[in-house]
């Protein structure tokens, strides 16, 4: 298993687009494996839309891969989503890492858009099947409970064949979905101890399904900071994290201190079966985010990737 470190964002510290591109350029030049976008359509705090951001990344970068962690399938039409992913992969020369989930019921988008959370797993299953077929088949007919298409095709198709299809979530349904349709799996807000049994359950379900997933295609993320637990940004984020997630405590999910603490957290996840990482710098502002990323590039990535 090749450990590879990607980066996401815990919040949006950038005052303008120029500051965001400074961060992207640092990641491109510094050996970061990939950049990941959270998928939020409704928010009071700034959050960039994931698909359009990745299209912009395709034009700005030459080496970086990029994905979304994770796109809620039910908030988008599967034909449009499949076309967007195929276009981004084609424009980037095959650097897209699409990841999908059903979305937790507490997301504000459900109520705000009048969508019912019931049956969202079945809708996602249909949508994922449609997208996978559109990326690989010349013409798709589909008649399901939630979607109907006749003679649908997209072109150009993705450069990657097959285009990766990573699944997020840890419920029994997400495990079955990963084993039936996925080419990879990415954890949510889970500690290494919580991730390990999910990876094992996916392996067992894959065996029952007669499929396999590359051992390198299991991912997880955590937040990090070169600093101390009493840094204001750590305290503030830990309080918000605790209010959002009751299943895992910040001290089990965050890595705070220096390179040794961050690498130790990487190792705990690696022992749980994870080799692909989305690390999120805890930063007070854009300059702080750049410095946190720079220290990760200099002190952690060379060791982890070796």
pLDDT at 241 over 90: no
Supply the pLDDT for residue 20: 96
Give residue for tokens 């910040």: 250
Per-residue pLDDT at 9: 87
Task: Answer yes or no: is pLDDT of 222 > 80.
Answer: yes
| Domains parsed from the chain with CATH numbers | 4-305 (3.20.20.30)
| pLDDT grade for 285, boundaries at 50, 70 and 90 | very high
What percent of the chain clears pLDDT 70, i.e. is strictly above it? 99
pTM comes to 0.94
pLDDT at 121: 93
**For the segment 250-275, what is each residue's pLDDT rounded down to a tens digit?**
999 999 999 999 999 999 999 999 99
List pLDDT tens digits, range 139-159.
999 999 999 999 999 999 999
- Say whether pLDDT at 10 is over 80: no
State yes or no: pLDDT of 248 exceeds 90: no
């Amino acid at each position: 298993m090749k450990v590879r470190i990607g980066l996401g964002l815990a919040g949006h510290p950038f005052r303008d687009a120029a500051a965001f591109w400074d961060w992207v350029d640092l990641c491109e030049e510094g050996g970061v494996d990939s950049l990941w976008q959270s998928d939020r359509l409704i928010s009071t705090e700034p959050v960039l839309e994931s698909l359009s951001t990745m299209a912009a990344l395709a034009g700005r970068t030459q080496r970086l891969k990029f994905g979304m962690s994770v796109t809620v399938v039910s908030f988008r039409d599967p034909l449009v989503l499949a076309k967007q992913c195929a276009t981004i992969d084609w424009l980037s020369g095959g650097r897209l890492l699409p990841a999908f989930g059903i979305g937790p019921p507490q997301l504000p988008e459900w109520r705000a858009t009048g969508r019912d959370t019931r049956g969202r797993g079945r809708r996602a299953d249909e949508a994922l099947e449609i997208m996978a077929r559109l990326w690989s088949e010349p013409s798709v007919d589909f008649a399901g409970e939630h979607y109907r298409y006749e003679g649908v095709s997209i072109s150009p198709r993705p450069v990657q064949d097959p285009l990766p299809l990573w699944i997020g979530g840890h419920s029994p349904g997400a495990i079955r979905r990963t084993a039936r349709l996925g080419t990879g799996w990415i954890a949510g807000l889970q500690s290494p101890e919580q991730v390990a049994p999910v990876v094992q359950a996916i392996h067992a379900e894959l065996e029952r399904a007669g499929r396999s997933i590359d051992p390198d295609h299991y991912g997880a993320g955590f937040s990090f900071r070169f600093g101390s637990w009493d840094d204001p940004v750590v305290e503030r984020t830990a309080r918000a994290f605790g209010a959002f997630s009751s299943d895992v405590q910040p001290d089990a999910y965050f890595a705070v201190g220096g390179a040794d603490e961050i690498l130790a957290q990487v190792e705990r996840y690696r022992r749980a079966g994870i080799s692909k990482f989305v690390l999120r710098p805890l930063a007070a502002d854009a300059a702080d985010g750049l410095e946190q990323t720079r220290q990760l590039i200099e002190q952690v990535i060379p060791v982890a990737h070796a």
